[in-house]
């Protein structure tokens, strides 16, 4: 019995010298531990709106709203549903699109204010009107693939439109007399993931119509 009492006495003296172990939050800001998982904040430079994080979010905190008529995708992160698991950060396509911060003080009287919204331009299949993906995602893929992107026509077309090399829509009609001489290497195939409609395009670069 003597030793525990001495140990408690030592603890009491140490606490008197060092001060209390607990923090004084909310009267003083609290510094979380190094690996603390707090509010996930997207990085608008790196988030391409691919929706991969919404697919893995276990609590359904990431809402994806596609508006094909307006060619817009909205991604809304609802912090009142977030459980700070870190799956969005772990599975982010670009690896830098969202980060868990050390922000923990999210309490509010109105949970409707606890969200963050992003907007992206959507690419839509011109035939069936279904969503192909966000323009930013395709541009990111084109940059990432480099020369390999030239095996996928929608990727190069999106990238070249951005660089103002290509403009407007893909010409839907090419005179038959001119296509008759096209070899197989001049023909691109596009497959819409929604309607599975296949379109053949003839590369007329460097040739006069
Ligand atoms: S996975 Fe990453 S890049 Fe894709 S929408 Fe989520 S945060 Fe953005
Ligand atoms: S931390 Fe987890 S719960 Fe919160 S948004 Fe990311 S995946 Fe969803």
Chunked mean pLDDT (size 10), the chain, 209 residues: 77 86 84 93 97 97 95 97 97 97 93 96 83 90 81 71 56 42 56 63 53
- If one residue of 39, 44, 45, 50 were mutated to test the ligand 1 pocket, choosing by the most ligand atoms within 8 A of its CB, it would be 50
23-124: what fold?
Alpha-Beta Plaits (3.30.70)
For residue 112, report the phi and psi dihedrals to the nearest 5 degrees. Answer: -65, -15
Which residue's CA lies nearest to atom 2 of ligand 2?
85
Q: What is the pLDDT of residue 23?
A: 83
| Backbone angle region of 107, left / alpha / beta, with phi > 0 → left and psi within -120 to 50 → alpha | beta
| Backbone angle region of 190, left / alpha / beta, with phi > 0 → left and psi within -120 to 50 → alpha | beta
Angle between helices 135-145 and 153-162 (to 10 degrees): 100
Q: What is the pLDDT of residue 175?
A: 43
Q: From ligand 2's centre to the CA of 41, what distance in Å?
A: 10
Cβ neighbours, 10 Å, residue 33: 7
Q: Residues with Cβ within 6 A of ligand 2?
A: 40, 57-59, 61-62, 77, 82-88
The four Cα atoms 70, 128, 190, 64 give a dihedral, to 10 degrees, of 50
Ligand that lies nearest to the alpha carbon of residue 137, given by its number in the listed order: 1
Taking alpha carbons only, the member of 166, 183, 175 closest to residue 208 is: 175
Query: Whose structure tokens read 């009492």?
Result: 5
Q: What is the DSSP string of 154-206?
A: HHHHHHHHHTTSS-SSPPS---HHHHTT--GGGEEEEE-TTT--EEEEE--TT
Q: From ligand 2's centre to the CA of 136, what distance in Å?
A: 22
Q: What is the pLDDT of residue 123?
A: 87
Q: What are the extents of the domains in the chain?
A: 23-124, 131-202
Distance from C-alpha of 122 to C-alpha of 174, rounded to nearest angstrom: 27
Ligand that lies nearest to the alpha carbon of residue 100, given by its number in the listed order: 2
């Amino acid at each position: 019995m003597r030793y525990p009492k001495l140990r408690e006495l030592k603890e009491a003296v140490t606490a008197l010298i060092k001060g209390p172990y607990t923090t004084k939050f909310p009267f003083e800001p609290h510094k979380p531990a190094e690996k603390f998982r707090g509010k996930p904040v997207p990085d608008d430079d790196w988030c391409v709106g691919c929706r991969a994080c919404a697919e893995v979010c276990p609590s359904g905190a990431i809402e994806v709203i596609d508006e094909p008529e307006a060619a817009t995708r909205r991604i809304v992160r609802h912090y009142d549903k977030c459980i700070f698991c870190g799956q969005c950060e772990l599975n982010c396509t670009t690896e830098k699109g969202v980060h868990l911060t050390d922000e923990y003080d999210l309490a509010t009287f109105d949970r409707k204010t606890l969200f963050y919204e992003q907007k992206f331009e959507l690419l839509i299949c011109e035939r069936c009107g279904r969503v192909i993906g966000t323009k930013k995602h395709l541009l990111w893929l084109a940059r990432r693939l480099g020369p390999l992107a030239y095996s996928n026509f929608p990727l190069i077309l999106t990238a070249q439109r951005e660089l103002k090399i290509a403009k407007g829509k893909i010409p839907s009609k090419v005179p038959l007399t001119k296509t008759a001489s096209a070899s197989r290497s001049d023909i691109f195939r596009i497959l819409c993931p929604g309607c599975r409609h296949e379109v053949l395009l003839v590369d007329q670069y460097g040739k006069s119509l």
